[in-house]
Amino acid sequence: MSRIRPFRPGDEPALAEICVRTADAGADATGIFDDDAIWAAIFVLPYVARHPEYAFVVETDDGRVVGYIVGAPDTDAFEEWFRTQWWPARAARWPLPSAEASRQDGTLIYAYGRRAGGEPYGRDYAAHLHIDLLPEAQGHGWGRRLIDTLIGALRADGVTGLHLVASDANTGALAFYERLGFEPLESHPGVQAFGMRL
């Protein structure tokens, strides 16, 4: 029987694999970039490094991690930490591209551009999340339970708003977030943002 448990050190390789295998609008992104590790270095590993208390995983009865949710309670503070501490330590491995000639270039340019105040949603919905489940864990209610678990942790710490951003190509995820009570927000091209008051 699978269960949700808090993140613990040593889960990082499993989280990185899940991130890559779901990064292409919910589909497997393996091989899209020259270095698959870019995905996790931007979208999951900084969260468990900075806020492990807001990270939870789905673990199967045989001990495999098949899904996760990670969050930051204060988006502006997190983005400033990402800009000044997390990403500079990785800049030598992934230099800033001179132009957006590929999807990898665009993603790296995004990483270099992250900063406090970079997203408008943080003003009204201070926290944000990333959630990913392998196909075997989808359709069984784990996504809803992960989000409920994170919301409980955020509420307990006095956080009053939560947002997320998803690819507008991931139609299943977009419908899922609306069913959970997230409200669509004005968004950049190619993505859809959602917010929820806690």
Predicted TM-score (pTM) of this structure: 0.96
Q: What is the pLDDT of residues 13-60, one digit of tens each?
A: 999 999 999 999 999 999 999 999 999 999 999 999 999 999 999 999
Paired tokens of 33 = 């970039």
CATH number (domain holding residue 78): 3.40.630.30
Q: How many domains does the chain have?
A: 1
pLDDT tens, residue by residue, 164-186: 999 999 988 999 999 999 999 99
The domain in which residue 182 lies consists of 3-197
Element (H, E) at 153: helix 142-156
Q: What is the pLDDT of residues 103-153, one digit of tens each?
A: 999 999 999 999 999 888 888 999 999 999 999 999 999 999 999 999 999
